[in-house]
Each structure stands twice: as C-alpha cells, then as structure tokens.
Amino acid sequence: MFRFIHTSDLHLGKPFGQFPDDLRGRLIEARHQSIESLARLAQSESATAVLVAGDLFDTGTPSPAIIRQALRVMGNDASVKWVLLPGNHDSLASDELWRQVAKDKPDNVLLALENTPIEMSPAIFILPAPCINRRPGRDLTDWMDGYETPENAIRIGLAHGPIQNFGEEGLTDIIDPNRAKNADLDYLALGDWHGQIKITDHIWYSGAPEPDRFKHNAPGKALVVSIDGKAVQPIVTPAETGVFDWQISDIDLLPGEDLDLKLASRFPEISKRRNALQQVNLQGRLRLPERLQLEQLLAQLHPDFAWMDIRTAGLANEYQVDDLDTIDQAGALRQAADALFDKAQLDNDPNGPAATALSLLYSFAAEEV
C-alpha cells in the first residue's frame, strides 16, 4: 500500500499587499505554518510522502529565508518524503530558485524537475510534469502515456494546470481529462485550482492548504490518498489544514426582519472570528432606519473579524414618509430631503449620489434625535 498526502498551491511568500500590516503578517505566517500542518497530517495518517503539485512558492524569486525555512520544516521528519513539482508561479524558468532549493534541501525532499519517473520504491513511481514556464501552451502530461514502468507498479501522475477551462481567455495548455486512463495512472495529483475538486475517482485537485482569496468559499484542505495496489481504486479522504477561513456571505434583507438574528445566522461563532475573513454581499431592500441599524450592527461586529469587506451594491432603500419626517417635517431641510427622495427614485440606484446623500442626511438627523 502507498499512502500519501496530495497538496498544492502553498504560495509561500505571497505578500497580501491589500491588507493592513498586522493582518498581512499573520497571513504570510499562516502560509509557512501550512507546511507544518501538512507534516503533522502525514504523521497522523501514517503517510510516507507529501506530493506538492506545483506553486510551493508564490514567485520565482522568494527570499532565501522563505526557501530555507520551508525546507527545514520538511526535513524535520526524515521518514516522510516530500516531492516538489514546479508550477506556473515557480516554474523551471526560475532556474536560480531551483538551484538554491537543490542546494539547501534535505535528503527526504525530492525534486520533480524533469519528465522522468521518480522511484519511491521498486513498485511505486511518480510521473511528474513540471511547468517549464508560466504558460507552457501545451499539455505537459502527454509524455506519460508511453512511458513504461515495471509490471504491476503503481503509477502516480503529478502535474499543475487546468484540466478544463476555468474561465481564462485563450487558454491552450489544458490537461487531457483522459490522461489517467491513457497513461495507466492509478492516480493523477493536480494543482493550480485552489479549490478542492474531484474530476474522476483517479483525478483530483487537492486545493490549497491555506486559502488566499474569497473565490472558493471553503477552508484550506489537502487530500489523504491510499492506494492498495495496481489497478485498485484509490481511497481519497479530504482533510482540513487551514488556519484562516475566507468566506463569502450573501445576505438577503427585507423590511421588518430581525437584523441581529439575520447576521448571527450567517457569521461564524465568536471564538472563530479572529481567523475569519468575510466578504459580505448585502442584497434586498431596507427602510432608512433599518439601514442605519444595519450599519451600526456591522460596525460593532467588524473588529471581531480578521477582515470584513462589506458590499452594498445590491441593497436598495425603501422610503416612507415617516422616515423623511425624522429628518425634518418642514422647512429647507425637509425640502432638501424631498428633492433627494425624488432624485433617488428617478435614478433607481441604491448607491447613487442621491440615495447616498439621503441616507447620510437621515443618519445625521437620527443622531440628533
């Protein structure tokens, strides 16, 4: 039996420049800690190898400290082998990077730098397809089809790239979805897509062990893979590995709802919020008093989270005469409110200048009450 951990897309050294310095530091450190999490997972699952299907590093020029410290963690347990494949972010074009890795690596770290099988044992072979540059322009796994290994040996493909078009224009280097069958692979370990996806029983994307974006709306994961022998279906078990939780919350709102209860039902419990990043998409409509209450509730919740990005493009205002009376019942201020109300209705844009000005006017007036 061969049991291993399938992972990819650690992106060590990712700068996270869009975040405040204190959070940036925590996110950068979490990427380093993901190596330790994978090592612990290998130990707890009695796995003898960790296969990294590309993008160990975020760029081809990580600092010497990032390289050295990552390799030191991998070398802590010599009984677990690490197989490192160049991805599109840290491709073979970054020759100085891989020269440095080759120089600093411990003996249990194996580099998949060529289209040559790596013998894990006389009956287990890794067939790697390292990225030659950021956009190779062809399927780099095609060499696996005709390459012979000993009879009844377990064959595991290791590659980085899309097996289907994930939305990029002009993408040509798409891995053949029949590669596992055509190359007689018992398992094809893929990287590139940061979310965990099962393509077939024999082909998986591991997903990133530590999330770095809201796109996938899921915790960091890796895969524990067990293969009992040639032509035996692999047993693939997802395992959570991430520290931070990046979540998109689409919240639909209507007048008269309990806003406290609505928000509480969509956010993680208090003890988990420090490591939670939230993208909150507010949709629906609210009266002005309710919108003010919502803003106050979110302002109170915001410090609980590592990060909160509140988007209100889909949230409209519902106006009633009583709400305008709060601003003023007569005089110049009421005339201004009525004019903004008419313009907001005409614009039909919940985030337009008139709607925004009217909301601000109501907020100021409510503070004075």
Encode the chain in three state secondary structure. CEEEEEECCCCECCCCCCCCHHHHHHHHHHHHHHHHHHHHHHHHCCCCEEEECCCCECCCCCCHHHHHHHHHHHCCCCCCEEEECCCCCCCCCCHHHHHHHHHHCCCCEEECCCCCCEEEECCEEEEEECCCCCCCCCCCCHHHCCCCCCCCCEEEEEEECCCCCCCCCCCCCCCCCCHHHHCCCCEEEEECCCCCEEEECCEEECCCCCCCCCCCCCCCEEEEEEECCCCCCCEEEEEECCCCEEEEEEEEECCCCCHHHHHHHHCCCHHHHHHEEEEEEEEEEEEHHHHHHHHHHHHHHHHHCCEEEEEEEEEEEECCHHHHHHHCCCHHHHHHHHHHHHHHHHHCCCCCHHHHHHHHHHHHHHHHC
Query: In the prediction, which pLDDT does 145 show?
Result: 95
* Nearest alpha-carbon partner for 244 in 5, 7, 33: 33
Classify each residue of 272-293 as buried b or exposed e, where b means 16 or more C-beta atoms within 10 Å of its C-beta: ebebbbbbbbbeebbbbebbbe
Query: In the prediction, which pLDDT does 367 show?
Result: 67
Residues of the chain with pLDDT under 50: 168, 170-171
- Fold entry, domain 2-240: Purple Acid Phosphatase; chain A, domain 2 (3.60.21)
**pTM for the predicted model, two decimal places:** 0.88
CB atoms within 10 A of CB 151: 7
User: What sign has the CA pseudo-torsion 255, 261, 267, 270?
Assistant: positive
Query: In the prediction, which pLDDT does 170 show?
Result: 47
> Per DSSP, what are the bridge partners of residue 253?
284
Domain boundaries, the chain: 2-240, 245-368
What's the length of the chain? 369
Query: In the prediction, which pLDDT does 235 show?
Result: 98
Query: In the prediction, which pLDDT does 360 show?
Result: 79
Residues 6+ apart with CB under 8 A from 244: 26, 27, 30, 210, 211, 220, 275, 276, 277, 306
- For 183: left if phi > 0, alpha if psi spans -120 to 50, otherwise beta; the answer is alpha
* Nearest alpha-carbon partner for 179 in 111, 127, 101: 127
Structure tokens at 197: 């996806």
